[in-house]
Amino acid sequence: MKVLLLEHPRSIMQERCNDIANTPLSSCLISGYAAGMLMKGGHAVEIIEGYLEGLSYEQIEERIRAFAPDILGVHMVYHWREDFALFAFLERVGQSRLASAITAYGFFATLAAPDILRQCAAVDAVIIGEAEAPFAALAEAGAAGISFTTIPGIAVRDSSGGIKYTNQETVRDLDAIPFPVRTEALYRLPEVNLLGSRGCYGSCTFCYINGYYGKESPWRGRSPENIAAEITRIVERTGKREFYFTDPNFFGPGQAGQDRALRIAALLKPISILFGIEGRVNDIHDDTIAALVDAGLRHMLIGLESGRDESLRRMNKMTTVAQNENALRILRKRGIEPNVGFIMFEPDSSLEDIRINFEFLKRNDLLKNLPVTANVLYHHQIVLEGTQAFHALEREGRLESRPTPYEGNAQLRNPGVAVLADIMRQVTNVLFSRMDGIWSGKLMEPPGMQRQYEEINRILVALFEINLSALEAGDIFDAGGIALRVRAAEKEIEDILNDCQII
């Protein structure tokens, strides 16, 4: 069978330019893993990088015609809007019979399968969860000329217009899966993305990782030897030595997780690479971090999420503020200044919560780096389908609007918190928009920007402090007052960036 896997074009909504949680970073390898499994089965596979290569749908259609696939697989990624352009394109593909079957897969496809099958008649099936085994079975069924409607993990329409599927078994032995196929476009990224584990042993209310893998899916890790073998192969073939583990939770649970991380460090050290990881604060142990740094660890993202224990309990983080601060101390001791996940504005945040968060950030020196400051002082909780928060807020009738079937918009309960969130979101969006080219690495940074960064950082911190204090004192902001505050801060920032000739 000939299978074409499409990474479709995506557009960035300006007002959502810094909301990165629409799909986990690990999703970048889903097509590659599916391709590896299909090739192992003897099928011909091609991946079209519509997004990374900046292709139009017209160009993609030409590629589809040239390849003439039996199956077109589409890795559907949510980008903050209904993707009518993608659906219209798939309808044209279906009507032109450019592929015998069209299958959607990925995080968004898994969690929004009923809506996709209802909205896009051209989509014949949606893979629920991990794509490797269902895709392989789908291709085998196609080659044998038999129906694929009973394959576990594949959702299809039933005779009444509803949706039917049976759950697939979670892949337990990740070493048994072939290494992912990486395209030239993926290799052009600054770091080679690598997946060392799947799932998470946590259960945060805002996260949909385990909603994708299945409620009963535990954290699963590849063996250190299997990881080192893949890295060695990439280094030998490409010469690349910078990697990033896209696992949402690099460390497995407990002492076994620490032992595994130490073994990974021992195997990676002789290969001489640099790498980044992501993890939970309770897994940051000094001896393990020391060994990883010695093996090449240079970057780490940790999910702090809040500086107040009550908020962490609401999010079901199963961590504490003390653990947050201990993780920061250990990483800094070992020369790692971490990137941090932080949710300043929850649906149930009070002004007291916001104040405690703000003081936590100041106390732990997390408001001195402009990209970090801009992120942590604005970030609200994103409410996506597949999360505990989404379903709880839906049951409570608190999702006041649904931008798409996949996303809910929960009104902030406290009016003062809502005002501060609105101000910070508007102002930081201007900054993110203006700095996108530089911070994304697409443009060179003008020389001598440190002083300007420090000045903009000061503006953001002062803006937050002044308005938080006013709201705590009982001030009431009307729409006009909010607009004046936003415009004044925006003008200060724009004047600085204009002087630097950042357009």
Pair of tokens at residue 236:
């030998």
Yes or no: say if 302 and 340 are a contact pair by the CB < 8 Å rule. yes
The closest alpha carbon to 153, from 113, 184, 97, belongs to 113
**Residue 421: is its pLDDT beyond 70?**
yes
pLDDT given for residue 222 in this prediction: 98
Largest CA distance in the chain: 72
* Residues 103 and 141 occupy one common structural domain: yes
Arithmetic mean of pLDDT, 407-434 = 93
The total domain count for the chain is 3
- Residue 175, CA distances (Å) to 222, 273, 453 in order: 6, 22, 45
Query: Is residue 393 situated within a structural domain?
Result: no
The closest alpha carbon to 358, from 464, 453, 281, belongs to 464
Query: Is residue 283 situated within a structural domain?
Result: yes
* Residues 153 and 239 occupy one common structural domain: no
- Residue 162, CA distances (Å) to 116, 156, 165, 437 in order: 12, 8, 10, 44
CA–CA gap between residue 187 and residue 193 (Å, rounded): 9
* Residues 220 and 152 occupy one common structural domain: no
Three-state DSSP string of 108-164: HHHHCHHHHHHHCCCCCEEECCCCHHHHHHHHHHHHHCCCCCCCCCEEEECCCCCEE
Pair of tokens at residue 379:
């970030």
* Residues 335 and 367 occupy one common structural domain: no
| Mean pLDDT computed over every residue of the chain | 94
Query: Is residue 282 situated within a structural domain?
Result: yes
pLDDT given for residue 423 in this prediction: 97
The residue type of 478 is D
The per-residue pLDDT for range 333-344, each reduced to its tens digit, is: 999 999 999 999
Residue that is last in its domain, among 311, 342, 373? 342
Yes or no: say if 298 and 272 are a contact pair by the CB < 8 Å rule. no
Arithmetic mean of pLDDT, 158-180 = 91
* Residues 145 and 15 occupy one common structural domain: yes
Query: Is residue 487 situated within a structural domain?
Result: yes
Q: How many CB atoms lie within 10 A of CB 142?
A: 19
- Degrees to nearest 5, angle at CA 308 with 302 and 309: 90
pLDDT given for residue 159 in this prediction: 83
Query: Is residue 258 situated within a structural domain?
Result: yes
Q: Is 416 helix (H, G, I), strand (E, B) or coil?
A: helix
Query: Is residue 169 situated within a structural domain?
Result: no
Question: What DSSP assignment string belongs to 429-489?
Answer: HHHHHHHHHHHTTSSPPPTT-HHHHHHHHHHHHHHHHHHHHHHHTT----HHHHHHHHHHH
**Residue 161: is its pLDDT beyond 90?**
no
Yes or no: say if 351 and 345 are a contact pair by the CB < 8 Å rule. no
Give this prediction's pTM.
0.94
* Residues 238 and 95 occupy one common structural domain: no
- Degrees to nearest 5, angle at CA 263 with 239 and 220: 90
Phi, psi of 401 (to 5 degrees): -150, 155
pLDDT given for residue 434 in this prediction: 85
The per-residue pLDDT for range 9-41, each reduced to its tens digit, is: 998 777 777 776 788 999 999 999 999 999 999
Query: Is residue 390 situated within a structural domain?
Result: no
* Residues 24 and 37 occupy one common structural domain: yes
CA–CA gap between residue 253 and residue 247 (Å, rounded): 14
Of all residues in the chain, the percent with pLDDT exceeding 70 is 99
* Residues 451 and 470 occupy one common structural domain: yes
The per-residue pLDDT for range 471-500, each reduced to its tens digit, is: 999 999 999 999 999 999 999 999 998 877
Residue that is last in its domain, among 342, 370, 405? 342
CA–CA gap between residue 371 and residue 14 (Å, rounded): 17
CATH code: domain of residue 33 = 3.40.50.2300
pLDDT given for residue 318 in this prediction: 96
pLDDT given for residue 160 in this prediction: 82
Cite the DSSP H helix spans in 208-350.
209-213, 224-238, 254-268, 286-295, 309-314, 321-333
Containing 304, the helix (H) or strand (E) segment is strand 297-305
401: confidence class by pLDDT, cuts 50, 70, 90: confident
CA–CA gap between residue 123 and residue 113 (Å, rounded): 10
* Residues 214 and 113 occupy one common structural domain: no
448: confidence class by pLDDT, cuts 50, 70, 90: confident
Cite the DSSP H helix spans in 157-204.
184-187
* Residues 10 and 149 occupy one common structural domain: yes
* Residues 352 and 287 occupy one common structural domain: no
CA–CA gap between residue 44 and residue 71 (Å, rounded): 11
The residue type of 311 is S
* Residues 368 and 331 occupy one common structural domain: no
Arithmetic mean of pLDDT, 381-395 = 93
Domain extent at residue 250: 190-342
- Degrees to nearest 5, angle at CA 345 with 424 and 332: 90
The per-residue pLDDT for range 250-301, each reduced to its tens digit, is: 999 999 999 999 999 999 999 999 999 999 999 999 999 999 999 999 999 9
CATH code: domain of residue 316 = 3.20.20.70
Yes or no: say if 109 and 127 are a contact pair by the CB < 8 Å rule. yes
- Degrees to nearest 5, angle at CA 478 with 472 and 484: 95
Q: How many CB atoms lie within 10 A of CB 413?
A: 13
Query: Is residue 409 situated within a structural domain?
Result: no
Question: Residue 172: is it exposed, middle or buried by C-beta count within 10 angstroms (0-12/13-18/19+)?
Answer: exposed
327: confidence class by pLDDT, cuts 50, 70, 90: very high
pLDDT given for residue 438 in this prediction: 81
